Amino acid sequence: MRKLIDQPQHQTSDSPLLKSSKHESAVRQVAGNARYVDDIPVPANIAYACVGITQVASGTLSALDLTAVKHAPGVIDVITIDDIPGHTDIGPVFEGDPILLDGEIKFHGQPVFAVLAGTEEQARYAATLATMDIAPASAILTVDQALAVNSTVRPPHAFGQGDAGAALEQAPVTAQGHLSIGGQEHLYLEGQVSLALPEEEDRVMIYTSSQHPSEVQKLVAEVLGVKLHKVTVDMRRMGGGFGGKESQAAQWACLAAVFAMRQRRAVKMRLPRALDMQVTGKRHPFENSYNIGFDSEGNMLGAEITVNGNCGNSPDLSDAIVDRAMFHVDNAYQLGATAITGNRLKTHMVSHTAFRGFGGPQGMIMAELMMDVIARRTGLDPLTVRMQNLYSEAKGLTTPYGMTLEQNILPELISQLANSSQYWQRREEVIAFNRHSPIIKKGLALTPVKFGISFTAKHLNQAGALIHLYTDGSIQVNHGGTEMGQGLHTKIGQIVAHEFGVELDNIEVTATRTDKVPNTSPTAASSGTDLNGKAAQNACLTLKARLAALFADTYQVSADAVTFANGYVSAGEHAVAFADVIQQAYMARISLSATGYYRTPKIFYDREKGSGRPFFYFANGAAVSEVSVDTLTGEYTVDAVDILHDVGTSLNPAIDRGQIEGGFIQGMGWVTTEDLRWDNNGKLISNNLATYKIPAVGDTPAHFNVALFDRPNNEDSIYHSKAVGEPPFMLAISVWCAIKDAVASLADYQQDPDIAVPATPERVLEAITALTENQDA
């Protein structure tokens, strides 16, 4: 088929593409009538489900007395794993996630039974009334404990280039260290929620807040013991996902479905916040170590890096998450000879899961730690060390996993940002300020991001779309991606409007539904627009070819000369309004509906060899952060942030900026105040918003500059744009480095302060105390 349009630079004047179109739901959101699952009008026979959970992290349930639960006010039904009609394991990739407790207790807060009652309050209250006889066992709650007994959810993986051991032996300077990296609660503002409606016989309809409707469909079918075609999942929008609704939205949909089919009534399951925080997985905590060699000029020669992911009690998505951590320990730097190992440790904790960056941040921060260590050891500025170790022709463009960088833009991007942010001038100002300020110390850091784009599970890199053209010229688009606020539907709408040359208000992107586009991938890995945008474009191309053929036939012109722009279909002197062409096509019995499909080219990874091209391309960016630290309390503020980020050709600059700013602030929360705490029994004690603090409005830096790096993607991505969901999250590593820089000033920048993530005020003060005590000694 001929290629119609793939030239975003030559957009027509009224194409919405590359413009800052408003989020397609913005007006409804601000007016309060954007509908979320809990807002859907429900049938009169609705009932509500909740789960009862364990109060120990490890052991065996010997007896479960549900009498009080059953007799509580309003209770309709109570189920345990024995009542599940079909498959009882809902692990997304590997087995290991029983839908309800199956004898062995796997973590504190594990759902044991589910209860259905007339109101939400009744269900939640009844869920607290069970009596459990438990033989407790000792729990593995840390990475160290898990390593000691080789407790893993999956086998380790390793890769590298050259002989790292020899490189370290020969290196003039070596350094070793360890970093504790905390997890992160997703804190989507809309908690987990599903609504199940029984339909005829064994058919069921599910409304859910999920990034992965196809997986919900599959798991609901399996749990019910029916085939997939009996289950339909509808997902209009999520009130935030961030990875927390990729695999872990399914359990609640499955339980609601089981009750719905048992009781033949509508069932809603909505987790109250504290329960949501206890029963769903988080970003993986990691305990990582490095052993590096470099020369006295600060050039990396070799690195041995081990990343240890705390996966919790089951594999969930952890294999791919630890892989991605490993794929990012180099970040933007040529490390020399490398040996990278990734362990996937099993602990008695909730099963940690996807979260924006998907292990990437926990790997990438190691690269930035190593750069800081080299800077302090050599006396060079950290930016100097970073720039001279960047991937380059001279240093080599091959990553530790054997992929060659084809579009290496960071050297230029960082230079541009260093200039525009006046990094070097500010460095001098910071040093001067610190010299005269005994209590408040400033810190400055510029860190880059190079993030690989594609699912590392190759089969997920495919997408489908379905487009209907109606006889008034309006267009419905459905695709496999889900809308969680990131503006995916807006971008898809822009793509389709651009392809047909019509205005955006002709396009309606409808709820994601498993009965429209089947077997979809999760909306994850930043891939939503890359995959679904191409699929939607391909559906457009199919339809345009049909319309062009008709037009060519009608007006005796070449089909190749037919264009779609400004609301018209044109060729030569012939121009017909788009809606009229659709009507003509209808009358001429041309199909006005088409599917589109896309799979990402070029990618492969040989796990045996630890080598390949797991990523279609890299998205890049860099940030400069400036902070002030109070050395009496460890409190700090992020005063100024300048970001330059690479989104290729921006399909929607406003939405891309929103992803960059929002990702950065979320990353800032991860490295600063978001402090997950479990007690010695494995109970999450930061289990509400009073004890778990995400950034608030006052945490947004007073100076917050975001610019887009102007460079199309070299690869044939949708209009040469680049994915933007996850990469900006890691720009916030600059905040952590800037805090360390401020603290390092107390010891004349001779040592890299040891500050775990998140760098809470308490940890910062601890580092300050350690550094100043060392000095005194």
In the region spanning residues 631 to 650, those forming contacts with another protein, defined by CB under 8 A, are 632-637, 639
- In the region spanning residues 440 to 469, those forming contacts with another protein, defined by CB under 8 A, are 440
304 near another protein (CB under 8 A): no
Which of 4, 175, 654, 747: binder of another protein (CB under 8 A)? Answer: 654
- In the region spanning residues 321 to 360, those forming contacts with another protein, defined by CB under 8 A, are none
666 near another protein (CB under 8 A): yes
| Distance from C-alpha of 286 to C-alpha of 297, rounded to nearest angstrom | 31
Using the contact rule CB under 8 A, the part of the chain among 25-33, 87-95, 137-145, 417-425 near another protein is 25-33
Distance of CA 616 to the CA centre of its chain: 17
- In the region spanning residues 349 to 408, those forming contacts with another protein, defined by CB under 8 A, are none
**Closer residue to another protein, CB minimum distance, 336 or 485:** 485
Q: Please, are residues 35 and 25 in contact by the beta-carbon 8 Å criterion?
A: no
- In the region spanning residues 264 to 283, those forming contacts with another protein, defined by CB under 8 A, are 272-274
Taking the alpha carbons at both ends of the chain, their separation in whole angstroms is: 76
**Closer residue to another protein, CB minimum distance, 37 or 737:** 37
**Closer residue to another protein, CB minimum distance, 416 or 688:** 688
Phi/psi for 290 (5° steps) reads -140, 155
128 near another protein (CB under 8 A): yes
DSSP code at position 628: E
- Bridge-based pairing of strands 75-79 and 111-117 is antiparallel
CB of 138 to another protein, least distance (A): 22
Using the contact rule CB under 8 A, the part of the chain among 78-86, 173-181, 334-342, 665-673 near another protein is 665-673
514 near another protein (CB under 8 A): no
694 near another protein (CB under 8 A): yes
670 near another protein (CB under 8 A): no
- Specify whether 726 is catalytic: yes
Q: How many residues bind another protein (CB under 8 A)?
A: 90
Nearest Cα residue to 757 out of 444, 363, 378: 363
| Distance from C-alpha of 517 to C-alpha of 125, rounded to nearest angstrom | 39
**Closer residue to another protein, CB minimum distance, 28 or 602:** 28
Which residues in 137-187 belong to E strands, given as ranges?
152-159, 173-181
CA quadruple 647, 650, 653, 657: dihedral, nearest 10? -10
162 near another protein (CB under 8 A): no
CB of 656 to another protein, least distance (A): 10
Single-letter amino acid code for the residue at 44? A
157 near another protein (CB under 8 A): no
762 near another protein (CB under 8 A): yes
Q: Please, are residues 619 and 727 in contact by the beta-carbon 8 Å criterion?
A: yes
695 near another protein (CB under 8 A): yes
| Distance from C-alpha of 232 to C-alpha of 253, rounded to nearest angstrom | 12
Helices (H), 603-684: 653-671
CB of 670 to another protein, least distance (A): 12
| Distance from C-alpha of 356 to C-alpha of 184, rounded to nearest angstrom | 10
**Closer residue to another protein, CB minimum distance, 384 or 673:** 673
- In the region spanning residues 163 to 222, those forming contacts with another protein, defined by CB under 8 A, are 186-191
432 near another protein (CB under 8 A): no
Using the contact rule CB under 8 A, the part of the chain among 135-143, 254-262, 610-618, 672-680 near another protein is 672-680
Tell me, residue by residue from 573 to 612, as one string, x for binding to another protein by CB under 8 A and - for no binding.
Answer: ----------------------------------------
Q: Which residues contact 733 (CB under 8 A, 6 or more apart)?
A: 361, 364, 365, 368, 447, 449, 667, 671
CB of 202 to another protein, least distance (A): 31
125 near another protein (CB under 8 A): yes
772 near another protein (CB under 8 A): no
| Vertex 531: Cα angle to 528 and 537 (nearest 5) | 115
Q: Please, are residues 590 and 464 in contact by the beta-carbon 8 Å criterion?
A: no
> Sheet of 563-565: strands edge to edge?
563-565, 568-571, 574-577
Which of 4, 14, 19, 35: binder of another protein (CB under 8 A)? Answer: 35
| Distance from C-alpha of 528 to C-alpha of 509, rounded to nearest angstrom | 14
Which of 6, 12, 33, 593: binder of another protein (CB under 8 A)? Answer: 33
Q: Please, are residues 60 and 105 in contact by the beta-carbon 8 Å criterion?
A: yes
410 near another protein (CB under 8 A): no
The pair of structure tokens assigned to 570 is 């044109």
Q: Please, are residues 723 and 619 in contact by the beta-carbon 8 Å criterion?
A: yes
**Closer residue to another protein, CB minimum distance, 614 or 701:** 701
681 near another protein (CB under 8 A): no
36 near another protein (CB under 8 A): yes
31 near another protein (CB under 8 A): yes
**Closer residue to another protein, CB minimum distance, 139 or 238:** 238
Q: Please, are residues 368 and 331 in contact by the beta-carbon 8 Å criterion?
A: yes
Using the contact rule CB under 8 A, the part of the chain among 279-287, 318-326, 403-411, 481-489 near another protein is 481-489
Sign of CA dihedral 165, 169, 171, 176: positive
CB of 662 to another protein, least distance (A): 5
34 near another protein (CB under 8 A): yes
Which of 201, 715, 726, 766 does the annotation list as catalytic? 726
Give long-range contacts, CB 8 A cutoff, 24+ apart: 403-406: 403/452, 403/612, 403/613, 403/614, 403/615, 405/618, 406/617, 406/714, 406/715
22 near another protein (CB under 8 A): yes
Distance of CA 567 to the CA centre of its chain: 37
Q: Please, are residues 443 and 427 in contact by the beta-carbon 8 Å criterion?
A: no
| Distance from C-alpha of 117 to C-alpha of 162, rounded to nearest angstrom | 62
CB of 669 to another protein, least distance (A): 9
Using the contact rule CB under 8 A, the part of the chain among 87-95, 584-592, 614-622, 758-766 near another protein is 758-766
**Closer residue to another protein, CB minimum distance, 3 or 436:** 436
**Closer residue to another protein, CB minimum distance, 382 or 634:** 634
**What are the CA-CA distances from residue 756 to residues 345, 574, 740, 770 (Å)?**
20, 67, 10, 13
149 near another protein (CB under 8 A): no
429 near another protein (CB under 8 A): no
**Closer residue to another protein, CB minimum distance, 125 or 401:** 125
Single-letter amino acid code for the residue at 246? E
The pair of structure tokens assigned to 354 is 């996807």
The pair of structure tokens assigned to 153 is 């959810």
CB of 671 to another protein, least distance (A): 13
Using the contact rule CB under 8 A, the part of the chain among 410-418, 457-465, 595-603, 760-768 near another protein is 760-768
CB of 635 to another protein, least distance (A): 6
Tell me, residue by residue from 222 to 251, as one string, x for binding to another protein by CB under 8 A and - for no binding.
Answer: ---------------xxxxxx---------
Beta bridge mates, 303: 292, 338
Helices (H), 642-777: 653-671, 733-744, 761-776
**Closer residue to another protein, CB minimum distance, 63 or 697:** 697
**What are the CA-CA distances from residue 343 to residues 308, 314, 438 (Å)?**
5, 14, 43
CA quadruple 238, 244, 245, 249: dihedral, nearest 10? -120
| Distance from C-alpha of 349 to C-alpha of 758, rounded to nearest angstrom | 19
491 CB-contact burial (10 Å; exposed 0-12 / middle 13-18 / buried 19+): buried
**Closer residue to another protein, CB minimum distance, 23 or 427:** 23
**Closer residue to another protein, CB minimum distance, 89 or 121:** 121
749: left (phi over 0), alpha (psi -120 to 50) or beta: left
707 near another protein (CB under 8 A): no
CB of 655 to another protein, least distance (A): 7
489 near another protein (CB under 8 A): no
Give me the active site residues, please.
Answer: 726
